Amino acid sequence: MKQNNKNLFKGRQFTAEVILWAVRWYLQFPISYRDLERMLADRGVQVDHTTLFRWIQAYAPEFDKRIRPHLRMTNGSWRVDETYIRVKGKWMYLYRAVDAAGQTIDFLLSPRRDAAAAQRFFRKALKQPHTVNPRTITVDKNAAYPIAAKAVKREGVLWRFAKLRQVKFLNNIVEQDHRRIKRLVRPGLGFKSFATAVQTIAGYEAMAMMRKGQVANAPANDMQAQTNFIARLFSAAA
């Protein structure tokens, strides 16, 4: 792991500590790259906003990948919904799910809102080490969800007794959770490509799971514990 971490930061002008500091800030708060450039300058660190963009694209997916094995298990009551994200001037569909306690299950960005996209989302979510096969899946009235659920049941991916409930008001918890993503995306005025959107959102979701207290040994309101946890993940000093 240490060798991999060393390679991860090799060739960078700045230390791992500075890079992780900047990436954590961007993924947690609704700021633009130029805002972050000014914030770092205030701390005596001169980094161009284009460099910050490259850091986010390189390390946000790493945050997501490294945090997931440490997540607490979610429960078997899923709330699934999709929201809209602008990518390259077009609206894309961001599928998201939380459990009944508001813990994040997973996300999927898709150019289409259909049964195939819903199936991909279910498959992706059910592969995660912190999820269980749900007893109930609450969705809205989107006709694609029953089709998708039946398909993944036939595949043996979803438990065949799982109940799909199309009750919109029960999904308020995930609709409220969408607002955090919207706040983080807004300062950037949309994404310039599908790939950059996926990579950045992965980081947003990873840090959100940490802030919700889903990471073992990193309590929700203990910022120092969270900072130390990230440093250990990347073998860097806090």
What's the pTM? 0.91
Rounded to 10 degrees, the C-alpha dihedral 229/233/237/238 comes to -30
pLDDT of residue 124: 97
> How far apart, in whole angstroms, are the C-alpha atoms of residue 67 and residue 13?
25
Contact partners, residue 194, CB within 8 Å, separation at least 6: 87, 88, 92, 109, 111
pLDDT of residue 236: 67
- Domain coordinates of the chain in residue numbers? 2-70+192-233, 77-180
2 pLDDT exceeds 50? no
Mean predicted confidence (pLDDT) in 137-145: 95
**pLDDT tens sequence across 74-111:** 999 999 999 999 999 999 999 999 999 999 999 999 99
**pLDDT tens sequence across 22-74:** 999 999 999 999 999 999 999 999 999 999 999 999 999 999 999 999 999 99
pLDDT of residue 4: 58
**pLDDT tens sequence across 164-211:** 999 888 888 999 999 998 999 988 777 999 999 999 999 999 999 999
Which stretches within the chain are classed as H helix? 2-9, 16-28, 33-42, 49-67, 115-126, 144-154, 172-185, 194-211, 223-233
Confidence bin at 7 (pLDDT 50/70/90): confident
Mean predicted confidence (pLDDT) in 4-18: 78
- 77-180: CATH topology: Nucleotidyltransferase; domain 5 (3.30.420)
Mean predicted confidence (pLDDT) in 116-145: 96
Average pLDDT for the chain: 92
